Amino acid sequence: MADIDQIAILQLGPGDARAGLALSTEAHWNQNEADWNFFLAKGIVFGVRDTAGHLVATRLVATAALLPYTSEDAWISMVLVTENWRRRGLATRLVDACLDTATKLGLTTWLDATPAGAAVYGPLGFTPTIQLRRLRLGNAPTSTAVAPLRSGQPTEFIACDISAMGFDRRDLLRELEGRAGSRLVSNGDAMALVRDGRIARHIGPLFADGPAHALAMVRDIAASETGPLLIDAVANQDAFLKGLTEMGWTIERPFQRMRFGRATTQPAELPFAVAGPEYG
């Protein structure tokens, strides 16, 4: 295998969506081709190709993406390395490429890290912020008393997200909400986005007046869906997290949100669930 220090890091383009999807599928992630298309169209995606000793590039073996949300804040994600190229420092080099670009653009960067990832990002200068818990529901529980869900208002949803994040992600939210199969739903006291993933439908972001309203929203969404569901809950929303497990949701893994650079603004109020580790 080639010396990692000698391998070229390239910027990827729209034609790399399926190759990126192959990497996230290998890692058992939930991203689908629409997610990759969005990152390649709106973000700056770096990658490494296995040239197998030839000048002609072959398969994509590693990626990392920088997704600017505003002129001050961006998200880093899609940090993926295929199995036989791991543990050689390639992910660190790709994240460094994202950070170098972010520094040149004057961006504060954020990411949601697995425990293994957090051990890598900490020494790079990332500071931990909130914690998340990913939960799965395999089959929706049978319910005879389901509150009707109506369509949510995109402008209200965007305003809630800005308050929760501290910066504006309206382009992302409009794109996610506009995808085939997506639903922006409300019950009057809570609002959530439900969208397709590769292996499960995803709930989030989710905003509510309190944990009881957030749990009612999740219950009603689950009763109106078929197939498995995923949700990335904010860990310090204790009552909400406890209620989810009592409803049959199973905690799969933790994520640690981390920031590189100064905080540009402070969130006014945390959501109950987020858009997913790839988007924040």
Per-residue pLDDT of the chain (280 residues), as tens digits, is: 455 666 889 999 999 999 999 999 999 999 999 999 999 999 999 999 987 654 455 789 999 999 999 999 999 999 999 998 988 889 999 999 999 999 999 999 999 999 989 988 999 999 999 999 999 999 755 555 566 788 889 999 999 999 999 999 999 999 999 999 999 999 989 999 999 999 999 999 999 999 999 999 999 999 999 999 999 999 999 999 999 999 999 999 999 999 999 887 777 789 999 999 999 9
193, 176 in Cβ contact below 8 A?
Answer: yes
Question: Per-domain residue ranges for the chain?
Answer: 4-106, 132-260
Q: Which residue has the tokens 């036989």?
A: 84
How far is 110 from 108, CA to CA, in rounded Å? 7
Which token pair is 241?
């997290």
Helix axes 17-26, 33-42, angle to 10 degrees: 130
65 contacts 101 by C-beta, under 8 angstroms: no
* Coil, helix or strand at residue 258: strand
Report in angstroms the alpha-carbon separations of 241 from 11, 47, 202, 218, 253.
39, 36, 16, 11, 13
pLDDT confidence of residue 6: 67
Residue 183: the pLDDT is: 97
CB atoms near residue 55 (< 10 Å): 5
Give the span between the Cα atoms of 165 and 268, in whole angstroms: 8
C-beta neighbour count of 217 within 10 angstroms: 26
CA distances from 199 to 59, 195, 227 (A): 23, 11, 9
Contacts of 3 (CB under 8 A, 6+ apart): none
d(CA 205, CA 210): 14
What topology is assigned to 4-106 in CATH?
Aminopeptidase (3.40.630)
**Helices 154-165 and 170-178 sit at what angle, rounded to 10 degrees?**
140
Exposed e or buried b per residue across 130-150, where buried means at least 16 C-beta atoms within 10 angstroms of its C-beta: bebbbbbbeebeeeeeeeebe
Query: Is the CB of residue 230 less than 8 Å from the CB of residue 237?
Result: no
Q: Which residue has the tokens 């869906």?
A: 225
Q: Which CATH architecture has domain 132-260?
A: 3-Layer(aba) Sandwich (3.40)
26 within 8 A of 83, measured Cβ to Cβ = yes
